Amino acid sequence: MSNTITFSGLASGMDTSSWVEALVNIKKTTLNNLTSKQNKLSTQQSAVSSVQSSFNALRTKIEKITDSKFGGSFDLFSKTKTSSTDENFVTARSTSGAASGSYELSVKQLASATVAKSAKGALALKGSSLMSSVSSEVAALADEETVSFDIYTNGLKNSITVTKEDTVDDVLSKINNIEGLSANISDGKISLTSEEGTNVVIGSSTDSLNISKAFALIQNEEGNYESYHTLSTISSSSKITDALGADVLGTFKIGNAEFTIGEDTTFDELIAEINGNEDAGVTAKFDNVTGEISFKALTNGSFNINIEKGTSAFTDLLGFTSTDGETGVTSLNAQELGSFAIFSINGETKMSSSNSVSSDVSGIDGVTFNLNKVSDEENPTTTIKISKDTEALVTAVKEFVEQYNSNLDLVDKKIATDGDLYGDTTLSTLRSAIRSTATSKDSDASVYNMLAQIGISTGAATSDISKLSDHLEFDEKKFIEAFENDSEAVKSLLIGGADNKGILSKMETTVEQALDSKGYFTSRNNSIDKQITDLKKSISNENLKIDAYQARLEKQFQNLESMISSFQSSYSSVSSMI
């Protein structure tokens, strides 16, 4: 439409602009009708979209149940659950399809893995080690600075100073100078003993060196002090040669894997290499507190971890092996041997290399028993029960019923006399087909042939028409009773079996056809799109016609004003002459 500003009636005094506007508005009747049709189609398109979303949601809820035909984790009908009379001893997990049953288990022995540990003191603190290696207070000292700690014997205070150059032996020697005390180091542990009748207290509030922390000292029942773990000055980031010397250079074997120690190889690097090699068959660990290295077999059982010396003295120096100096023969030192699990199921004794007992060991398909603790006199057996798990299926059926009812409500609203899709017979037919399927009989089904028989119905029978409803109601108790009575019959009725298709499978087909690329929703949307496109063209053409019509009217009235103005001018001239 033209937005040209015009000034009307300058000569005639008539409001020609209003006349033009009124005449144009009369001409807009067709345009307004077209615009109204376009708005109505847009509203219908929005309504179709909302109904389509509802049908998509219904399909999803149906598929959650009908996808059970694919088996495995999709099969809601075959899910099982387990219970244990005491989970401290035995628990279990079951897969879909596991047979229901009750099992009495007694655990006589748990499975464990063999562990090989380095000898005590192999990487332990030594008397020659500097105090700065075990104490951050000493390590922070500058030259000629000192820290101190106190030891009280029968209440008498004895102060000991420590410098940055002092070794562990230096400190122990100073302690030994205190009357009635004796201190020494063995296998990386410090011990401090007192003569009978001597009361010893280590430390005071004025100490600048926490010697108890540095030496990991605790007091025993006799009143003496000792380290509660082996002390070490070696960390996992240390070079192996720095800790054990050049004799470690070379190769050694663990399991079927060979490893090489070079001049710059650190404990961290070696541990990572062992853990990354499946042929080693172990998990390696370095304890930064004790300096202990251990290898734990990946497989449980009472057997040795194979450790061979090779050209490196690493395994000898850590005490995993011992080599005879005269014969050169290397022998494997004792290891903490693992064990197999020994247990019984319903009185039958069995053995397993794992505490997680699978069906190939137990002989019970679909069930894995987890042995957690050896049975005792108070709990000689643990009862494990396997039963059907209906929770997921019940939830899926509830969700289907809710979406089904929501779907019908939405369709009913849209096709009602005041609805946006009133008169849409195809949608009305589609709605009837879904409703009919839900209440129909599956004649080929065996035990159950109607949803109402398994607790999915339109409610109790009544003669009151006002109380009749298309809505489905779900009786969970009745459903579970039917399922426990014959789960396969319930499954057959809902999703089909060898001789029948199933109620929900039929409904799924109807819904999928409507949602198909050639189905109702696509066709309906395409039809509306075409109508809207055609209307837009008609509206555009109509606007052009109105603009042209308005322009002609404005031109005609402008010409009229020009003629009146000319007449007025001539009249003035004549009047002037007279």
Q: What is the pLDDT of residues 263-316, one digit of tens each?
A: 999 999 999 999 999 999 999 999 887 889 999 999 999 999 999 999 999 999
Side chain identity at 355, as an amino acid letter?
Answer: N
Q: Is residue 556 part of a domain?
A: no
285 and 221 assigned to the same domain: no
CA angle 484, 486, 489 (to 5 degrees): 135
Lowest-confidence range among 85-89, 356-360, 482-486, 553-557?
553-557
Total of domains in the chain: 3
515-557 residue pLDDT tens: 999 999 999 888 888 888 888 887 777 777 777 777 777 777 6
- The arithmetic mean of pLDDT across residues 160-186, rounded, is 95
* Residue 578: pLDDT band with limits 50, 70, 90: low
The secondary structure of 178-233 as a DSSP string is STTEEEEEETTEEEEEE-TT--EEE--TT-SS-HHHHTTEEE-TTS-EEESS---S
Q: Does pLDDT of 221 surpass 70?
A: yes
**Domain-embedded: residue 300:** yes
- Do 104 and 149 sit in the same domain of this protein? no
Q: Are residues 323 and 262 in the same domain?
A: yes
- What's the pLDDT at 506? 95
Percent of the chain with pLDDT over 90: 65
Instruction: Return d(Cα 360, Cα 204) in angstroms, integer.
Output: 64
- Per the CB < 8 A criterion, the answer to whether 273 and 216 are in contact is no
Provide the pLDDT for residue 119.
Answer: 87
The residue segments making up the domain with residue 307 are 237-332
pLDDT-derived band at 482 (thresholds 50, 70, 90) equals very high
Which residues pair with residue 295 across a beta bridge? 116, 284
Same domain for 312 and 373 = no
Indicate if 243 and 207 belong to the same structural domain. Answer: no
**Quick check: is 451 in a domain?**
no
pLDDT digit string, tens, across residues 112-152: 999 999 987 778 888 988 998 889 899 999 989 999 999 99
Task: Report pLDDT for 467.
Answer: 37
- What is d(CA 115, CA 481) in angstroms, rounded to the nearest whole number? 53
CA pair distance 495, 481, nearest whole angstrom: 18
Of 227, 253, 281, which one is at a domain's C-terminal end?
Answer: 227
Kindly state whether residues 209 and 264 are assigned to the same domain.
no
pLDDT value of position 64: 95
215 plus 243 within the same structural domain? no
pLDDT in tens, 21-43: 766 677 777 777 777 788 888 88
End-to-end CA, the chain: 49
Where is average pLDDT lowest: 21-35, 327-341, 363-377, 401-415? 21-35
User: Do 293 and 266 belong to one domain?
Assistant: yes
H helix runs in 297-390, sequence order: 314-317, 359-362
- Residue at 199 is within a domain: yes
Last residue of a domain, one of 332, 366, 396: 332
Q: In this structure, are 309 and 255 located in the same domain?
A: yes
Least confident segment among 98-112, 387-401, 555-569: 555-569
Indicate if 243 and 222 belong to the same structural domain. Answer: no
Could you tell me which residue, 289 or 352, shows the higher pLDDT? Answer: 352
pLDDT of residue 293: 94
Is 409 a domain residue? no
Q: Is a pLDDT exceeding 60 seen at residue 498? A: yes
Query: What is the average pLDDT across 212-225?
Result: 93
User: Going by DSSP bridges, is the β-strand pair 217-219/282-286 parallel, antiparallel, or unpaired?
Assistant: unpaired
Per-residue pLDDT of 410-469, as tens digits, reads: 999 999 999 999 989 999 999 999 999 999 998 888 889 999 999 999 855 433 434 346
Is 534 among the domain residues?
no
* 292/353 same-domain check: no
Among the candidates 201, 227, 253, a domain finishes at: 227
- Residues 208 and 269 occupy one common structural domain: no
**Global confidence as pTM:** 0.61
**Domain assignment of residue 209, yes or no:** yes
Assigned domain for 173 exists: yes
pLDDT for res 5:
44
